[in-house]
């Protein structure tokens, strides 16, 4: 078991969770509008939805990886290419992060949990991202790929949940800082680009 790979996965997941994206921005806005507990309810729904994507990945892709080296190589190319594409999309997007919370509808805790869950489960981009991200971090020659994908999935959920919860709790502070300093948005944008490119390169260089 290669613990360095696991540590690398945790670090990459943490940086990705911090980088501005639709999920953490939605959590941030819900916390600003409705309060911390509503942001936390949104986090719970989003994170729970990751179980569905992890299961699809574990029982679908693991069989391919186990039987076909060439297909695993194709998956690596696809994964790296998709991450490079995400970096390109972030680069092309010149829009500033909009934290104007006036148009965010007020919902109950259960409604926000369900909405967060459905936002995650029904988003095919999450499945594609898991497919691109996880195979490059398989960490054991003895454990089955199903177990490894579940371990990575649970680590992804745990790390993301911690960071998203911190965003929800510190929403007001984060929002004030971003509104006062427009440079922060540009810094986070380029950090996200470098992360996507770095993980893409790592996946290309990884072995089965």
Structural tokens at position 11: 């670090």
* Local confidence band at 154 (pLDDT 50, 70, 90 cut-offs): very high
**In the chain, where are the structural domains located?**
3-94+122-205
Spatial CA neighbour of 152 closest among 143, 139, 166, 161? 139
**Region class of 46: left (phi > 0), else alpha (psi between -120 and 50), else beta:** alpha
**What does the block give as tokens for 96?**
């500033």
Instruction: Give the integer Cα–Cα distance in Å for 17 and 92.
Output: 20
CA distance 121 to 50: 7
Q: How does DSSP classify residue 101?
A: G
| Per-residue model confidence as pLDDT tens digits over 35-88 | 788 889 999 999 999 998 899 888 876 666 656 677 777 777 877 787 788 788
Question: Residue 32's closest CA among 154, 7, 44, 24?
Answer: 24
pLDDT at 184 over 60: yes
Q: Residue ranges of the alpha helices (H) in the chain?
A: 3-18, 22-34, 36-67, 69-92, 109-121, 124-133, 145-169, 171-180, 183-205
User: 53 and 127 in contact (C-beta within 8 Å)?
Assistant: yes
Mean pLDDT for 14-35 is 79
Mean pLDDT of the chain: 79
**What gap in Å lies between CA 171 and CA 164, rounded to an integer?**
10
Q: pLDDT per residue over 124-137, tens digit each?
A: 678 778 888 888 89
């Amino acid at each position: 078991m290669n613990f360095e790979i696991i540590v690398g996965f945790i670090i990459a997941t943490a940086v990705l969770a911090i980088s501005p994206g639709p999920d953490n921005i939605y959590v941030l806005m819900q916390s600003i509008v409705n309060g911390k507990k509503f942001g936390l309810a949104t986090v719970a729904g989003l994170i729970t939805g990751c179980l569905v994507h992890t299961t699809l990945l574990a029982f679908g892709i693991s069989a391919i990886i186990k039987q076909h080296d060439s297909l695993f190589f194709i998956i690596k190319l696809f994964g790296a290419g998709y991450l490079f594409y995400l970096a390109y999309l972030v680069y092309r997007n010149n829009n500033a992060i909009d934290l104007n919370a006036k148009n965010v509808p007020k919902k109950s805790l259960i409604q926000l949990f369900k909405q967060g869950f459905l936002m995650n489960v029904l988003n095919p981009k999450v499945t594609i991202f898991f497919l691109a991200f996880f195979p490059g971090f398989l960490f054991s020659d003895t454990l089955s790929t199903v177990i490894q994908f579940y371990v990575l999935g649970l680590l992804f959920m745990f790390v993301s949940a911690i960071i998203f919860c911190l965003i929800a709790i510190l929403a007001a502070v984060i929002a004030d800082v971003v509104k006062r300093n427009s440079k922060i948005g540009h810094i986070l944008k380029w950090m996200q680009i470098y992360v996507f490119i770095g993980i893409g390169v790592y996946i290309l260089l990884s072995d089965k």
